[in-house]
Chain A
Amino acid sequence: QKEVEQNSGPLSVPEGAIASLNCTYSDRGSQSFFWYRQYSGKSPELIMFIYSNGDKEDGRFTAQLNKASQYVSLLIRDSQPSDSATYLCAVTGNQFYFGTGTSLTVIP
C-alpha cells in the first residue's frame, strides 16, 4: 500500500463546474497536508495547506480534512481552463510523501 493514494484521472469537468480531487493516506501520525498544482513541464507550486479537521477555504479552493478517515480533498469551484494541471497531494508526519497526482482538464 502506498503512503498516499490519489486517483490518477484524468478528471474532466466543464468550465464553471466544481472539480473534486481526493487523497487518502496510510500514516495515522500524519500532521500536515498540502495540495500542490503542477502544470505540464513545470515544478509543483503550493495552492493549499491544512492541519486541522474540517474545511479551509481560499478563494475558489476548499481543502477538506478528515483524520479519522485518513482522507483529504480539494474542491475547485467555478473551474477555469487555467486550472487544467496535475494536482499533487502531500502528507507529512515522520516522513514526507507525495501522491502520484490527479490530472485535471477543464473543458471550455
Chain B
Amino acid sequence: DAGVIQSPRHEVTEMGQEVTLRCKPISGHNSLFWYRQTMMRGLELLIYFNNNVPIDDSGMPEDRFSAKMPNASFSTLKIQPSEPRDSAVYFCASSFGASGGYEQFFGPGTRLTVL
C-alpha cells in the first residue's frame, strides 16, 4: 500500500489566493482527518470524516476553510482567501474505525506558505 498520499508537498502562494490541498487515504480506511501543525499551536485537528461524512468540523478556524470528501478515496481542504497566518504544515491522516480510537496513518504533509 502506498500509504496516505497528499499533494502538493509544498505550496507557496500570495495572500488572497485560493489554495486547495488534496488527500488520498489508505484504501479500506473509513475515517479521514485533516490537521494543521505550527510551532506555536502544535498539531490541531481541523475536521474529520467517517464514511465520507463530516463528523466534527469544530476545529475549522473560520469560513475561509472548507473541506470535502466526495468519495472514499479523495478529500480536499480549501482555503479561500488565504492569509499569511494560514502558513503551516497540513497533514491528512486516515484510519480504520468510526472514531479516533484506532491508529491514524499520516500522509507526508503539505507545507503551505502564504506571502
Contact = CB atoms under 8 A, between A and B. Distances in A.
Contacts of A43: 91, 106-109
A46 B104 contact: yes
A45 B99 contact: no
Interface residues of B, number: 21
A32 interface: yes
Interface residues of A, number: 19
Contacts of A71: none
Given A43-B108, A43-B109, A96 B45 contact: yes
Given A43-B91, A43-B108, A101 B100 contact: no
Nearest to B41: A100
B101 A31 contact: yes
Given A31-B101, A92-B99, A92-B100, A101 B42 contact: yes
A44 B3 CA distance: 13
A96 B108 contact: no
A45 B106 contact: yes
A42 B109 CA distance: 8
Most buried by B among A34, A95, A96: A96
Interface in B33-47: 33, 35, 41-45
B103 A88 contact: no
Contacts of B35: 98
25 contacts: A32-B100, A32-B101, A43-B91, A43-B106, A43-B109, A44-B106, A45-B106, A46-B104, A49-B103, A88-B42, A92-B100, A92-B101, A95-B45, A95-B56, A96-B33, A96-B99, A96-B100, A98-B35, A98-B42, A98-B43, A98-B44, A99-B42, A100-B42, A100-B43, A101-B42
